[in-house]
């Protein structure tokens, strides 16, 4: 029987079959990992299309095979340094939920997320949540930040998940698609999904217990079908978006507004740091690339050099 993995706890997997039945499955024995997946800390991820069968013994249902993924998005595993964790597979797009306060999402975090999405060719949408909580100063900050991303072509939406404000715009952006929802703990991912899909009733942090800090209320990624068509994947909040699998010279290509400038740099291995004749740096100096983006790019390069041994420049 065939189905899609809608939840994975590491020890068992919920698979929704083509007949729309939910079956708990386990992974067959020592699941053979092929070379490319060797570094993955989880061999099966939410969104994976799988074949399942009922074992002869009373072992119950087993995942027998995984179909090749159309795409997937990974981050460095928080538990195993150097390993990758596949967050989800077979996605149409991802949606990053950000908040300017309670908790604050930095542009550094946003840029790491966006560059990862670009690297895996997954379109990204930014949703600024908790509009009901913004004071005038934070609102101005939000205008500044959101403008950076709108200017370079990322869709930006402004909502209050708690008050159900502007939820129709989110529904419009996700209908008939498979959308991964990500962001720091406490930004309101699960609250937003409950607003998008009536009756979903995902666990969220009680508002009276919310201190401005995330509490990791959602602990496993889970895919939910939408009445409007498509599905949405709730994920546990992430603190850091470790970058992996990239070569240093690739990173600038995942900053979408840098892309067209890169061929104009004097050196074809330009990393846009301090090289002469750098078209990216020139664009930044002339105000065509935002300071936030350029500085975040340089910080990612610094981080990369400090943390990745295969750096050989």
Ligand X SMILES: Nc1nc2c(ncn2[C@@H]2O[C@H](COP(=O)(O)OP(=O)(O)OP(=O)(O)O)[C@@H](O)[C@H]2O)c(=O)[nH]1
Q: Which is nearer to ligand X, 17 or 156 (CB)?
A: 156
**Only segment of 3-11, 33-41, 125-133, 218-226 that touches Mg ion (CB under 5 A):** 218-226
178 near ligand X, judged by CB under 6 A: no
Q: For residue 13, what are the β-bridge partners?
A: 8, 25
Residue count at the site for Mg ion (CB under 5 A)? Answer: 4
* Beta-bridge partner residues of 292: none
Note whether 103 binds ligand X by CB under 6 A. Answer: no
Binding mask 183-212 for Mg ion (x = CB under 5 A): ------xx----------------------
Question: Residue 278 interacts with Zn ion (CB under 5 A)?
Answer: yes
Contact predicate 48/66, CB 8 Å: yes
Measured from the CB atom, the residue of 116 and 190 that comes closer to ligand X is: 190
Query: Residues 253-272 vs Zn ion: string with x where CB under 5 A?
Result: ------------x----x-x
Helix, strand, or coil here: 46?
A: coil
Q: Which residue, 227 or 250, has its beta carbon nearer to Zn ion? A: 250
> Per-residue b/e over 2-19, b at no fewer than 16 CB within 10 Å?
ebbbbbbeeeebbbbeee
Of 176 and 216, which has the nearer Cβ to ligand X? Answer: 216
Residue 114: contacted member of ligand X, Zn ion, Mg ion, none (CB under 5 to 8 Å, by partner type): none
Chain residues 210-269 in contact with ligand X, contact rule CB under 6 A: 210, 214-218, 236-237
Among residues 189 and 272, whose Cβ is nearest to Mg ion? 189
Between 107 and 129, CB nearer to ligand X: 129
197 binds, among ligand X, Zn ion, Mg ion, none (CB under 5 to 8 A by kind): none
E-assigned strands of the chain? 2-8, 13-17, 22-27, 49-54, 61-66, 72-76, 84-89, 93-98, 124-128, 156-158, 177-182, 222-225, 230-234
Q: Which two tokens stand for residue 85?
A: 């964790």
Element (H, E) at 251: helix 248-251
The whole-angstrom separation of Cα 112 and Cα 107 is 8
* Beta strand ranges found along 211-298 (DSSP E): 222-225, 230-234
Can you give the binding site for ligand X, defined by CB under 6 A?
129-130, 132-133, 160-162, 183, 185-191, 204-205, 207, 210, 214-218, 236-237
């Amino acid at each position: 029987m065939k189905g899609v993995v809608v939840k994975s706890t590491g020890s068992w997997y919920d698979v929704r079959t083509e007949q729309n039945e939910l079956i708990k499955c386990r992974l067959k024995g020592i699941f053979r990992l092929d070379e490319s997946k060797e570094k993955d800390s989880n061999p099966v991820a939410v969104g994976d299309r799988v074949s399942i069968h009922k074992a002869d013994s009373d072992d119950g249902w087993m995942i027998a095979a995984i179909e090749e993924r159309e795409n997937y998005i990974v981050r460095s595993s928080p538990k195993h340094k150097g390993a990758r964790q596949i967050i989800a597979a077979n996605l149409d797009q991802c949606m990053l939920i950000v908040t300017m306060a309670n908790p604050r999402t930095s542009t550094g975090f946003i840029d790491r997320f966006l560059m990862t999405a670009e690297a895996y060719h997954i379109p990204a949408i930014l949703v600024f949540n908790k509009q009901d909580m913004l004071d005038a100063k934070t609102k101005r900050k939000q205008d500044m930040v959101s403008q950076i991303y709108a200017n370079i072509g990322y869709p930006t939406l402004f909502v209050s998940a708690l008050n159900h404000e502007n939820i129709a715009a989110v529904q419009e952006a996700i209908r008939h698609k498979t959308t991964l929802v990500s962001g720091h703990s406490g930004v309101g991912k699960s609250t937003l999904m409950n607003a998008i899909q009536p009756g979903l009733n995902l666990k969220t942090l009680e508002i009276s217990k919310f201190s401005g800090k995330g509490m990791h209320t959602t602990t496993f990624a889970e895919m939910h079908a939408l009445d409007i068509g498509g599905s949405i994947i709730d994920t546990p909040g992430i603190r850091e978006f470790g970058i992996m699998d990239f070569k240093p010279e690739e990173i600038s290509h995942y900053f979408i507004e840098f892309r067209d400038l890169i061929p104009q740099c004097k050196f074809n291995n330009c990393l846009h740091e301090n090289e002469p004749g750098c078209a990216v740096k020139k664009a930044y100096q002339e105000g065509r690339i935002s300071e936030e983006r350029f500085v975040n790019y340089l910080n990612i390069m610094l981080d990369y050099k400090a943390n990745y041994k295969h750096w050989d420049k």
